[in-house]
Amino acid sequence: MPAVADNIAAVLARIKAAVQKAGRPADSVRLVAVSKGKDAALLGEALAAGQLLFGENYLQEAEKKIAALGPGPQWHFIGHLQSNKAAVAAGLFDCIETIDRLKLAQALEKHLVRLNRTMSALVQVNIGREPQKSGVLPEKAAPLLAALQDFPHLQVRGLMAIPPYSSDPEESRPYFREVKRLALQLEQGGLLGRRYPTELSMGMSDDFEVAIAEGATLVRVGTALFGARG
């Protein structure tokens, strides 16, 4: 595996090409460097190379790395979050991408009030209707988003989705398209896009170019930057 800096440059070049091909504005897609299982030294290399946005799946692991890297980078939480961990999460992250139930949002809001800070959030949608996956079913996104309007410290900006696993990126395309269609519907209902431009977090190492073609604004890439996880 080449150095992290080279991998970042390569992925950014691929993002740029995909954005251009889709005829979208140059700054419309951000790279979330997914760093689960990778140590702080490797993240430090990414940071030195100019990567300022990281995605972490596990709270305790993230806590250590956030402390190790210090101020500068932004952190998105992309794993499953238990409501009883909301106190810690509320103090650590810039965005929680995996809001999928009211109870979690309520717990976060309570602690954000206590900490006197705001936080961005995305609603995770189980776009493939997979029983084992987190996320709301697509038809439950609107009622959840409506309920989230009551939480002024939790700024809900869009949707996050993980399509069913496939080694063929084209198999993900209809799911990405469905996420985009759902977001447009929610915008029409006034539930997204009013206060903030709508964010769509979708696409990983194997399929981020397809996700960009279908409207992703955040791509979550791990393996292509940091190598395979052990």
Ligand X SMILES: *Cc1c(COP(=O)(O)O)cnc(C)c1O
Is the Cβ of residue 35 or residue 153 nearer to ligand X in the bound state? 35
Is the Cβ of residue 122 or residue 182 nearer to ligand X in the bound state? 122
Residue 207: CB minimum distance to ligand X, A:
9
Cα Rg of the chain (Å, integer) = 17
Residue 84: CB minimum distance to ligand X, A:
21
Is the Cβ of residue 122 or residue 183 nearer to ligand X in the bound state? 122
Hey, is 145 helix, strand or coil?
A: helix
Is the Cβ of residue 216 or residue 224 nearer to ligand X in the bound state? 224
Distance CA 91, CA 98 (A): 16
Is the Cβ of residue 18 or residue 78 nearer to ligand X in the bound state? 78
Residue 160: CB minimum distance to ligand X, A:
8
Enumerate binding residues for ligand X (CB under 6 A).
Answer: 34, 36, 57, 78, 162, 204-206, 220-224
Whether 105 and 99 have beta carbons less than 8 Å apart is answered as yes
Hey, is 110 helix, strand or coil?
A: helix
Is the Cβ of residue 57 or residue 83 nearer to ligand X in the bound state? 57
Residue 78: CB minimum distance to ligand X, A:
4
Whether 172 and 210 have beta carbons less than 8 Å apart is answered as yes
Hey, is 148 helix, strand or coil?
A: helix
Strand extents, DSSP E, the chain: 30-34, 53-56, 74-77, 95-99, 119-125, 154-161, 199-201, 218-221
Residue 110: CB minimum distance to ligand X, A:
25
Q: Which residues contact 158 (CB under 8 A, 6 or more apart)?
A: 122, 123, 183, 192, 196, 198, 199, 200, 201, 217
Nearest CA among 183, 143, 133, 123 for reference residue 163: 133
Please give the structure tokens belonging to residue 64.
């250590």
Residue 222: CB minimum distance to ligand X, A:
3
**Taking CB positions, which residue lies at the least distance from ligand X?**
222
